A = this chain, B = another copy of it.
Amino acid sequence: MIRVQGTPFDPGAEIKSFLGRNPNSGGIATFIGQVRDFQPVQNSSSSEVTSLELEHYPGMTEKELERIVEDSFTRWPLDDALVIHLYGQLKPGDSIVLVCTAATHRGDAFASCEFIMDWLKTKAPFWKREQTQAGTTWVDARANDTERADRWAKD
């Protein structure tokens, strides 16, 4: 299931209901991405981030996330998967993204959860803009994210 929304969500409550929907899955892996109040990326301002804006491409975002999740189901024997992604104005500590995957064995749950995150980072049409004391800056893509996503390329 895919949800792209402008209002905050509670990752704990979402994970709880995901577990409730999948009582027979032996392993559930989840990932939560949060807004940090500092920015260790090289090309970014070192000023404290006071807020973060996430622009997205309505319509394509949902389709792209669906494609990524469908791809994960063709690669691993999954029972279920959930992706929730925020857009709009966020504050430090807010959860930006939640990915949950459920499988019989933990290896499949871990791999598919990391795969979804890696592909989401390089394919889902979101763009971050940080607000610091010094002004607003669009965050540059990280080469490392492309490398991580490329690990999953099929030969």
Contact = CB atoms under 8 A, between A and B. Distances in A.
A62 B19 CA distance: 26
B34 A31 contact: no
B13 A104 contact: no
Determine how many copies of this chain the complex contains: 2
Contacts of A30: 15, 29-32
Nearest to A109: B31
Contacts of A28: 31-34
Interface in A17-73: 17, 19, 22-34, 36-38, 40
Nearest to A107: B148
A155 interface: no
Given A19-B12, A104-B36, A110-B110, A31 B27 contact: yes
Contacts of A154: none
